[in-house]
Amino acid sequence: MKIRVEQSELSDACSWTTRTLPARPTIPVLAGVRIGAEEGGLHLATFDMETAAKVHVDAVVDEPGTVVVSGRLLADIAKALPKQPVELTLEGSRLSLRCGRSSFGLPTMPVEEYPELPAFPVEAGSLPGSEFGVAIAQVAVAASRDDTLPVLTGIRVELEGDTITMAATDRYRLAVRRLAWSPDDTSISRQVLVKGKQLADLGRTLGEGDSVSLSLGDPESGLIGFSSPDREVVTRLLHGDFPDYRRLLPKDSQTVAETDREELIESVKRVKLVAAERTTPIRLTFSDDEVLLRAGAGDDASASESLECSVSGDPIEIAFNPDYLLDGLQSIPNEKVTLAFTEPRKPAVLSDGPDYQYLLMPMRLGN
C-alpha cells in the first residue's frame, strides 16, 4: 500500500472515526482503525460490534491495500503533523508515515482478524443534517437509561411518506418530534427502534453536515445506516415492542398556559435549589395571569417565586420532578412555551407548536 493524502483531511477523518473506538475493546484488534486504499482515495473504518463508522478521504493512491493500525495513535499522530502532504507506505508489517521532515512507523495488526463491517443498507431518503441533529437531541432527552427495559432505551423512528416521527419515553416523560424529509419512495412506511445513545451520538456528529441520508435494509434487517457525502455510519437496531405512545397524548386540555421559556427555566432552577433530593417535587400553581412555583415545605427549606404567564381555562395546581421539567423546557427551541393540562393527576404537555411535544407525568401532590 502506498498513498499520499493531505494532513488536514487525514486528521479530520481520523478524529471522526476514532471517536467511536472503545476504550476497553472486547478483542484487541477492535482498538484499531482499518485503512483501505483503493483507486480514487482511501477510507478509514472502525467497528465496535454496535456501530461501524467509515469515512472517505481523497488521496493519491499509488498502490492499493488494506491495513489495521492502532486508531488513537494514528489520530494523535495525524493531528500533530505539519500541514503538508502525508505519505503512507506499508513496509513489511509496518506502516510508515512521512510528512515533511517527520517520520513514524506503526506496527500493523492482522487484517483478517478484523471483523467484517456490516453491509451498508439501501438509501431510503435524506434531510438537512442540522434539523436532524436538533430533532434527535429533542427526543433523546426522554429515552430511558435503565438497562432493565432495553426497549425504552431506544428511540422509535417512523418513516411515513414525507414525515419522520421520532419518539422516546422512559415512562416518566415522552418526547415526540415530527419533521419533514425527502424519501426516495413517497409511499414508504417503516418503523424501527434505534439505540438511544448511538442515535444521540450520531445526531451530534452527522448533524454538522449539510445533508444526511437514512438507509434501511429489508424489513428483517437489523441495521440502520446514516450517511453524509463522505461519511457512513451503520448501527444495530433494537428489537421489541415500543409502547403505543400515541394513546398517551391527551386529546384535549382544561388549562393552557403560555409563558416566556427562559424565565420559567431560571425560576425553576432557583426554586429547585431547596429540593432536598432529586425527586423532591416542584409545585406549580397556574391562576389568572401568573404561575406560582414552590418547593420544600414544613421544617425543610422552602422557596417560592411567581412569574407572569397567560393562562386560559381553569386554575390548576400540579407538581413535577424539577429535572424532568427542565429537560422538557430546555428541549424547546422557541422563546415561548405552551403548557397544557387536563387535571393534576394526568400528564401535562409542553410544546411550542405542532411538531414537538414533551409529555410529562406529574408527581403526587402532598399536603
Partner 1 sequence: MMSVWDAVIGQPRAVEALERAVAAAHGHAASATAMTHAWLITGPPGSGRSVAAAAFAAALVCPREGCGECPACVEVRAGTHPDVELVRSTTLSHSKQLSSELVLKAADAPVLGGYRCLVLEDADRMTDAAANALLKAIEEPTATTVWILCAPSPEDLLATIRSRVRHIALRVPESRAVADVLVAEGVDRAMAEFAAQAAQGHIGRARGLATDAEVRSRRSMVLTIPSKLQTLGDCYAMAHKLKAAAEADSSQRLGEHLAHDREQTMAAFGEGAAGVSNRKVKEYAKSSLAELERVHKQQSSRSVRDELDRYFTDLLGYYRDVLALQCQAEVTLINADLRASLERHAANDPASQTMQRISALGRAREQLEANVPPALVCEALLVQLLHPSGN
Q: Which is nearer to partner 1, 54 or 294 (CB)?
A: 54
HSE of 224 in the Cβ direction (CA atoms, 13 Å)?
Answer: 23
Grid cell, residue 227, equals: 450517511
Q: Which is nearer to partner 1, 75 or 360 (CB)?
A: 75
Site residues for partner 1 per CB under 8 A: 23-32, 47, 49, 69-70, 72-74, 76-77, 94, 96, 102-107, 109, 113-116, 118, 147-148, 150-151, 153-154, 217, 220-223, 236-240
For the bound state, the minimum distance from the C-beta of residue 344 to partner 1, rounded and expressed in Å, comes to: 33
For the bound state, the minimum distance from the C-beta of residue 24 to partner 1, rounded and expressed in Å, comes to: 5
For the bound state, the minimum distance from the C-beta of residue 192 to partner 1, rounded and expressed in Å, comes to: 9
For the bound state, the minimum distance from the C-beta of residue 273 to partner 1, rounded and expressed in Å, comes to: 33
Q: Which is nearer to partner 1, 31 or 271 (CB)?
A: 31
Q: How far apart are the first and last CA of the chain?
A: 75
Q: Which is nearer to partner 1, 232 or 352 (CB)?
A: 232
CB 254 within 8 A of CB 316: yes
Residue partners of 116: CB distance under 8 A and separation at least 6: none
Alpha-carbon span 46 to 209, nearest angstrom: 20
**Beta bridge pairs of residue 88:** 3, 97
For the bound state, the minimum distance from the C-beta of residue 45 to partner 1, rounded and expressed in Å, comes to: 14
Q: Which residue has the cell 493531505?
A: 6
CB 295 within 8 A of CB 281: yes
Q: Which is nearer to partner 1, 229 or 240 (CB)?
A: 240
Alpha-carbon span 128 to 120, nearest angstrom: 20
